[in-house]
Amino acid sequence: MKIAKTIAELKESRRQLQGSVGFVPTMGFLHEGHLSLVRQARAENASVIASIFVNPTQFGPNDDFSAYPRDTERDLALLKKESTDIVFMPEPPEMYPPNARSWVVVDGLTDGLEGGSRPGHFRGVTTIVTKLFNIVEPTRSYFGQKDVQQALVIQKMAQDLNMNLEVIICPTVRETDGLAMSSRNVYLVPEERQAALVLFQSLNLAQQLYSNGERSAERIRREMITLIEHEPRAEIDYVSIADTATLKELDKIGEKALVSLAVKVGKPRLLDNIVLGELI
Ligand code: PAF
């Protein structure tokens, strides 16, 4: 496994690869969710490149950039075990030289949900992902459904800007009790870890109501909120039932709907989602 710390080193190693390249961009502190993306990339491509870069431009002033968990040695051992060919690990000045003036912005899709709660977040994500795509030149790139808005925004960006790759969304990986895997779960103390199950429970409730024939988004939203409010350690940011293409809130659920939520449990703000009806 080669480690490239500069863009020049990455390009030099990339030139030596033959055939398709699967790319998994990450911010490190890897868990089974990331590794499932690497495995899918491994299964579908001749070579695999992963990146580890905690991207400062997607964190707001009140976010946890400096406290974001990091464990590079462990990450590299895990990526090596999955037969990753190249790991790109630049430092911030390599990606953002002081004279950089350009941003990539996706309108509309980024207004609500995470975009509504974290102004500027998606501008940072779409800019870094574009830069990584331009540097790595992958055939396919893999994103987890846990960050569903991010995955849909990147898919749209790749389509709108005629980027020459396929953006693939892979299923959320969960702990055995249902908690969606996230690097931020490390911040949960044991009582909060238990309380965090309320996210998955509320999604199950939505699924159950939908399966029983409920089609009023408002009624499902209200039932989910009531359930979460019974957990004193949980503080709701949003509970959304939205159109899977536009991410606009729905009154009535048609063929399918994206049910997503952000809930603060102790220090971390946790995300989860499911799609009612067909898969995305
Ligand atoms: O999902 C993440 O870890 C990040 O948002 C990404 C896609 C690596 C961009 O920094």
pLDDT for 249-275, tens place per residue?
999 999 999 999 999 999 999 999 999
Residue 54: is it exposed, middle or buried by C-beta count within 10 angstroms (0-12/13-18/19+)? middle
Q: Which atom of ligand 1 is nearest to the CA of 58?
A: 10
- Residue 247 DSSP one-character state: -
Note the helical H segments in the chain.
Answer: 7-15, 32-44, 72-81, 92-95, 113-117, 121-136, 148-160, 190-195, 197-211, 217-229
Query: 153-192, pLDDT tens digit by residue?
Result: 999 999 999 999 999 999 999 999 999 999 999 999 999 9
Which domains are assigned to the chain? 2-170 (3.40.50.620), 183-273 (3.30.1300.10)
Query: 103-116, pLDDT tens digit by residue?
Result: 999 999 999 999 99
- Residue 216 DSSP one-character state: B
Residue with CA at minimum distance from ligand 1 atom 9: 125
- Ligand 1 proximity of 128 Cβ (cutoff 6 Å): yes
Predicted TM-score (pTM) of this structure = 0.97
Tell me the CA end-to-end span of the chain in Å, nearest whole number. Answer: 34
Among 23, 26, 110, 126, name the best residue to mutate to test ligand 1's pocket (greatest count of ligand atoms within 8 A of Cβ): 26
**Side chain identity at residue 192, one-letter code:** E
State the pLDDT at residue 5: 98
Question: What is the C-alpha separation between 207 and 172, in angstroms, rounded?
Answer: 16
- Ligand 1 proximity of 138 Cβ (cutoff 6 Å): no
Cβ-Cβ contacts under 8 Å for 3 (sequence gap 6 or more): 76, 86, 87, 89
* Catalytic residue selected from 31, 34, 121, 230: 34
Q: How far is the CA of 27 from the centre of ligand 1 (A)?
A: 6
Q: Is 121 a catalytic residue?
A: no
- Ligand 1 proximity of 141 Cβ (cutoff 6 Å): no
Which tokens go with 124?
């940072």
- Ligand 1 proximity of 26 Cβ (cutoff 6 Å): yes
Which tokens go with 190?
């044991």
Percent of the chain at pLDDT exceeding 90: 97
Query: 133-148, pLDDT tens digit by residue?
Result: 999 999 999 999 999 9
The answer to whether residues 232 and 225 touch, using CB atoms and an 8 Å cutoff, is no
Q: How far is CA 263 from the centre of its chain?
A: 16
State the pLDDT at residue 280: 42
